[in-house]
Amino acid sequence: MSTLAFVKRSSPPIVLPCPEEGRSGIARKNRDDFPEWPGSYFELGLIAFNDHTKTGEKRYLDEAKNYFDQAILKGNEQFPEFYLARSATNFLLKDNAAAENDLKKAQQIDENDYAVLCALAFFYEEIDKMDEAEKIHRKIVANFPDNVEAHVNYAWFSLGRNNCVALKHYTEAATLAPNDIERLMDKGVLARKMEKFGDAEEALFLAMELYKKEPNPDADRKRKMYEQLELARARQS
């Protein structure tokens, strides 16, 4: 599985790892000492990409893309994370066709790679190809049924489109992570809005009980959680 991380509805849809400070000189030396090793080009690309994040200067994106091009070439086109990184760069360069092409090439290397599938789903969301995004989300939860994040992402995507699907996957996430307060709150709040007050009360009550055990619970958050619970109880009675 790729080491790249992903976030929902981000821009870009792929979040690249941030290299440690002072790595630039080491990475350049590695490239010079081992010019055929793809890892050094990849790391230099990440450094340039991170410089763009800090400064907003386009030249760093161009530099990152050049390094990722070389990493892909030196790696004999066998590393999906290299394509994901170049896809993120192309996305910021507003070349969606190239970004999508890189994602598809990454998928050809491993069609069931979780990180690649997530990147595809989020990318299609970003460019408003919602039918394509949903197909990918369905594949992700089918391939990774025990992955809490996969269910949360599909639920989040489905909100306002199909709340029944959203509630189903918030429920799956809460079942897989029964001590996760956020997952219980997701389920409870949506269930209340859908007037499924019994399900809402159960999830919100469990979330409240777990939150009471937190070492330093925030009073404002506790109040809001209690308000949600009382709303569910009031409508149920």
Q: Is residue 95 pLDDT above 90, yes or no? A: yes
- The C-alpha torsion from 172 through 178 and 181 to 185, rounded to 10°, is 40
φ/ψ of residue 32, rounded to 5: -70, -35
Beta pairing, strands 5-6 & 14-15: antiparallel
What confidence tens digit (pLDDT) does each residue in 161-200 have?
999 999 999 999 999 999 999 999 999 999 999 999 999 9
What confidence tens digit (pLDDT) does each residue in 12-48 have?
456 666 666 667 777 677 777 777 888 889 999 999 9
Give the CB-side neighbour count of residue 99, counting CA atoms within 13 A: 22
Give residue 7's region: left, alpha or beta (phi > 0; psi -120 to 50).
beta
Q: Is residue 155 pLDDT above 90, yes or no? A: yes
Complete domains list, the chain, with CATH: 1-143 (1.25.40.10), 145-237 (1.25.40.10)
Residues ≥6 apart with Cβ < 8 Å to 169: 141, 151, 152, 154, 155, 158
Radius of gyration, alpha carbons of the chain: 21
Q: Is residue 57 pLDDT above 70, yes or no? A: yes
The whole-number average pLDDT for the span 125-138 is 95
